[in-house]
Chain A
């Protein structure tokens, strides 16, 4: 049992329990979904299993309704709020993308400024396209050796707040994909002192709420809202997520915002997975993440013992731009063996049947979670040792990630909806991009709508493509062309 004191009985899982009751009642369905507990789609039932399709049901009185929860979903949300130390929690079924978007849409409207680091997930900027808010970027520090974006420095945030006193909120990655945390408590205080809200993208931070010795969670740091990817470190099904609110946020308004875009047919598979996972985290999270941390630390030591690789950890902490580090993350710098992270990522899959989370230009990330066992970790470490032995190269000519400071020419919304034209990549220098370009994962835009295209950005895109990064975003799937804002003809001003 966790030592934490919860207000509610965390052994309960109301959605799961309601579904069990529903199953036992053998209710005859004359409602959607049309597969009717799988009977109408035997191939699907064979593939997913009777148990699974049997609870793929629609909202009904005994099972509540996600759009307007008053019974079991409401209870599950209250339990989640209690478990995460939030004033309110929303079960989300559109991925953490929908949590992030609802969070941003709840606090920003057209023309508002929002302060955020440039290495945000695309979902944040998507929300700005939707609502017309204007980003104020705080340049994240770069670690020169690793080529990764770090957190936001306190003084940089203070400067942005001072220069943009009317901004409505500050958004923080807690942590970044690589596990790096900014000084969240200090940023919350700065934001609140300036009358702004503080939002946290905690897509990679679910475990902060339950483990020990991990960085502070958004709710504990006093943030106003947090988007939490339960399906990442929390163990729930893909696409299920939570949106948490602090006491200063009007939860019923947030519910209205969520309902603007969220489905009215919330999946009970996703919702029950959130319910069961929350219970598991509350009851056993502490020991589970203790094990996860131990596994990650062991793997880090073993990878560093191979030589050539650098699996980084808490030594990066510098009190500011790396205020804290999430030790469950196993991020490995690969350039010193002469291979790009994405190349090692590909070799691991093609040669060793090992799929890792992502590889970028200089690093890779192996996701360690509650589902890992030592025997698979030994495989990963050994495969990395083998890759070094077999594929190590002279690293000259390898590019390191560099922070390319964005030049924001107009708001993402303005750029996205502006008149545009498609130009061959190499002819776009100096133009304003009207779409996203990113490697996925991690899904952090290289270019966002409204940003000026420069030579160094193009070089980076071409290099990343050449190394085998999966590029996404543009209309042109080959990414040979980019959409840019149409320029007014000369003399027509």
Chain B
């Protein structure tokens, strides 16, 4: 007998993972949360049927969304993390001694509860004394926040569900306002490959690029996400993502990583021609 979990990456493309056990399934006020145990990817977390993370490849996402800005900004003390209820981003951030405070805003308390119970590899640092968790809508929670954070990491679901508000211009503007004068915002920006995802990626790039003086996109290879190919947005008030990278300083921290390296850091900003073209197209629309 075989059990398969399938996710449509487009109406005509289906990605399936065989699972042994359906460990968790609950409908929260916002979404349906499931956790599967799979032979290939270990435990898999899905929200509304979309793969959020697998034990096998989450390190790629969590390292790339965290270490890229951390290697650029030398003085990150206060970090705001939006979404990321699984704890992977928090786990990476707590490896830096210079981080003094991590505020995490998660919309859905059940996600944190489920991940604490079933994904200890991700949730292991959620009880770090520097971590402060707020449940709520990020648009509301940081609306009046000004000049407070050195880094904001936006780890949202895709822009078609309950996270839609985290892909809007008002949200990026509020993040800009909540950042210090040398602050950085990093967000997951979806896949540039399939048409619908690509459009969403363009749209959010346009909104970020018209909000921040520096806005660049970088990429990573993530097997269980649509097309296995993912992008992140790097938006910054002061630091350039490559020029300001301090390789020596980062190496001195002696952090062991499995995907991120300072060399890959530079390479990740060199994009395929079709992606460059897509970004340029919307950059040209900004007056």
Contact between A382 and B174, CB atoms less than 8 A apart: yes
Docked pose: A48 CA to B276 CA in angstroms = 37
Residues of B139-169 contacting chain A, CB below 8 A: 139-140, 143-144, 162, 164-165, 168-169
Contact between A353 and B177, CB atoms less than 8 A apart: no
Docked pose: A231 CA to B177 CA in angstroms = 39
A305-B144, A375-B137, A378-B165 known; 10 new pairs, CB 8 Å cut-off, are: A351-B169, A352-B169, A374-B137, A375-B164, A378-B139, A378-B140, A382-B174, A385-B144, A386-B177, A389-B173
Q: Indicate whether A378 sits within 8 Å of B137 (C-beta atoms), given known contacts A352-B168, A385-B143.
A: yes
Residues of B contacting A389 in the complex (Cβ-Cβ under 8 angstroms): 173, 177
In the complex, the chain A residue whose C-beta lies closest to that of B164 is A375
Contact between B144 and A382, CB atoms less than 8 A apart: no
With contacts defined as CB atoms under 8 Å apart, how many contacts are there between chain A and chain B in the complex?
52
User: What is B's interface to A at a CB cutoff of 8 Å?
Assistant: 137, 139-140, 143-144, 162, 164-165, 168-171, 173-174, 177
Cβ of A410 under 8 Å from chain B: no
Docked pose: A353 CA to B144 CA in angstroms = 22
Contact between A382 and B170, CB atoms less than 8 A apart: yes
Contact between A383 and B162, CB atoms less than 8 A apart: no
Q: Indicate whether A386 sits within 8 Å of B174 (C-beta atoms), given known contacts A352-B169, A375-B164, A379-B168.
A: yes
Residues of B contacting A390 in the complex (Cβ-Cβ under 8 angstroms): 173
Contact between A353 and B168, CB atoms less than 8 A apart: yes
Main secondary structure of the interface of A (DSSP, over half): helix
Contact between A382 and B177, CB atoms less than 8 A apart: no
In the complex, the chain A residue whose C-beta lies closest to that of B30 is A375
In the complex, the chain B residue whose C-beta lies closest to that of A351 is B169
Return the CB mask of A339-364 against B: 1 if under 8 Å, else 0. 00000000000011100000000000
Main secondary structure of the interface of B (DSSP, over half): helix
Q: Indicate whether A381 sits within 8 Å of B173 (C-beta atoms), given known contacts A375-B164, A375-B165.
A: no
Docked pose: A302 CA to B177 CA in angstroms = 18
Residues of B contacting A381 in the complex (Cβ-Cβ under 8 angstroms): 139-140, 143
Docked pose: A386 CA to B164 CA in angstroms = 17
Docked pose: A379 CA to B173 CA in angstroms = 11
Q: Indicate whether A386 sits within 8 Å of B137 (C-beta atoms), given known contacts A375-B162, A375-B164, A381-B143.
A: no
Docked pose: A382 CA to B177 CA in angstroms = 12
Contact between B144 and A386, CB atoms less than 8 A apart: no
B140, B165, B174, B177: residue with the most chain A Cβ atoms closer than 10 Å: B140
Q: In the complex, how many angstroms separate the beta carbon of A378 from the nearest chain B beta carbon?
A: 4
Q: In the complex, how many angstroms separate the beta carbon of B282 from the nearest chain A beta carbon?
A: 14
Residues of B contacting A352 in the complex (Cβ-Cβ under 8 angstroms): 168-170
Return the CB mask of A392-432 against B: 1 if under 8 Å, else 0. 00000000000000000000000000000000000000000
Residues of A284-333 contacting chain B, CB below 8 A: 302, 305-306
Contact between A386 and B140, CB atoms less than 8 A apart: no
Q: In the complex, how many angstroms separate the beta carbon of A386 from the nearest chain B beta carbon?
A: 4
In the complex, the chain A residue whose C-beta lies closest to that of B136 is A378
Q: In the complex, how many angstroms separate the beta carbon of B166 from the nearest chain A beta carbon?
A: 10
B164, B169, B170: residue with the most chain A Cβ atoms closer than 10 Å: B170
Contact between A379 and B170, CB atoms less than 8 A apart: yes
A351, A376, A385, A386: residue with the most chain B Cβ atoms closer than 10 Å: A386
In the complex, the chain A residue whose C-beta lies closest to that of B210 is A351
